[in-house]
Amino acid sequence: MNSIWELDTFYRKRDIIIIGAGFSGLWTAISIKEKYPEKSVLIIERNTIPLGASTRNAGFACFGSLTEVIADSEKMGWEKTLELVTMRFNGLQKIQHYFKHDEIDFELNGGYEIVNTEEPLTQIDAVNKKLKTITGLDQTYTLKQNKIKEFGLGKSEFLIENPCEGGLHSGKLVQKLLEKCHELKIEFLFGTEVQNIEETDKVEVQLSTDLSVIADQLIYCTNAFTSKFLEKENIIPARGQVLLTEPVDGLKLKGTFHYDEGYYYFRNIGNRILLGGGRNQDFKTEETTAFETTEFLQNHLENFLKEVILPHKDFKIALRWSGIMAMGEEKSPIVKQFSERQFCAVRLSGMGVALAPKIGEMMAEMI
């Protein structure tokens, strides 16, 4: 049993409880507290640090490569596509407004997409025109063939540059967001898994058989792990595997790179290479919430490293890890109220760095 001291403090009733301390949960809490300073906000996180996608990703501060924007427009139409690009573009501006570049290792080195067919190139001008109202640039995407050699890339026919893209340090961003939360007196229960939810004239958040916390409103920011609670939502877990090399002598490559419609992504971190992806080689196995790496995909990524990123160079792998994203039939995140007192901001796909700041604002408007 708990003591009166614990029940009066850590487990007391709150105005709002958020489940999940990834980018979504943290930005949501910040936006709510900024709009409603008098409301008490508690974030419940099952792990000792946020552990899902936010501390496991590649740290691309990106809003969509050329082929991705084209593919989205074909699937969702231009209106929805531009809405999503705007959200992500504004999200990146917001991150830079809140935190100094050196606090989160934000480097605006430009983003690149490698494409091996000519088709997308024929659409560059049309897409640039559409994006001008968002980025303010005449040419958001430009062909930069000379950089293929400069960066030493193999198996790359065309290279498209986007100067608005950058990279950042996801761990440092999460830490800065946590600092901001503490400043705003947002409270936390780490290492605490939510087991069950019951809604009546309040929401009861069950932490174990004999312990629960009450709230007026509840927000799920559980991304890929949401199906346990919201079975009806279309949320498919997608594991992303990553590797990081030891420092590479004379590395010239700088920036964030997308390949094969974004299924592969790589960047430099100083003079190391971080490479992730390849999910399209083994979709079924990667549709999981298990934090593991597989020999098959790691070997595949190493091969990709040899053939595309570091041809003719020696390298050693320093680290391998995986994280879990949330995908769905539709690309858009699910940000909504689904009962009198419950809300969700989930399914951030592979773009949560840029999306989460705006999703937080949307949630603060909704509650």
Nearer to ligand FAD, 21 or 131 (CB): 21
Which region among 42-50, 68-76, 108-116, 243-251 touches ligand FAD (by CB under 6 A)?
Answer: 42-50
Q: Which two tokens stand for residue 339?
A: 């009962």
Cα 249 from Cα 65, distance rounded (Å): 29
Q: Does 50 bind ligand FAD (CB under 6 A)?
A: yes
Q: Does 297 bind ligand FAD (CB under 6 A)?
A: no
Which region among 51-59, 77-85, 153-161, 180-188 touches ligand FAD (by CB under 6 A)?
Answer: 51-59
Please pick, from the candidates 64, 110, 262, 350, the single residue that binds ligand FAD as defined by CB under 6 A. 350
Minimum distance, C-beta of residue 294 to ligand FAD, in the bound complex (Å): 14
Q: Which two tokens stand for residue 284?
A: 């079924």
- Phi-psi map region of 190: left, alpha, beta (phi>0 left; psi -120 to 50 alpha): beta
Nearer to ligand FAD, 17 or 308 (CB): 17
Cα 122 from Cα 288, distance rounded (Å): 37
For 279-290, give one letter per residue: b (16+ CB within 10 A) or e: beeeeeebeeee
Q: Does 28 bind ligand FAD (CB under 6 A)?
A: no
Nearer to ligand FAD, 249 or 324 (CB): 324
Nearer to ligand FAD, 284 or 312 (CB): 284
On whether the CB atoms of residues 264 and 258 are closer than 8 A, the answer is yes
Q: Does 223 bind ligand FAD (CB under 6 A)?
A: yes
Which region among 3-11, 59-67, 76-84, 111-119 touches ligand FAD (by CB under 6 A)?
Answer: 59-67
Please pick, from the candidates 70, 186, 197, 221, the single residue that binds ligand FAD as defined by CB under 6 A. 221
Please pick, from the candidates 84, 308, 325, 327, the single residue that binds ligand FAD as defined by CB under 6 A. 325
Please pick, from the candidates 16, 17, 18, 21, the single residue that binds ligand FAD as defined by CB under 6 A. 21
Nearer to ligand FAD, 121 or 207 (CB): 207
Q: Does 45 bind ligand FAD (CB under 6 A)?
A: yes
Q: Does 128 bind ligand FAD (CB under 6 A)?
A: no
Nearer to ligand FAD, 71 or 121 (CB): 71
Interface positions, 179-218, toward ligand FAD (CB under 6 A): 193-194
Which region among 21-29, 70-78, 109-117, 298-306 touches ligand FAD (by CB under 6 A)?
Answer: 21-29
For 55-93, give one letter per residue: b (16+ CB within 10 A) or e: bbbbbbbbbbbbbbbbbbbeebeeeebbebbbbbbbbbe
Residue the block writes with tokens 């995908």: 327
- Residues lying near ligand FAD in the complex (CB under 6 A): 19-25, 44-47, 50-54, 56-60, 62, 193-194, 221-225, 240, 242, 276, 323-325, 348, 350-354, 356
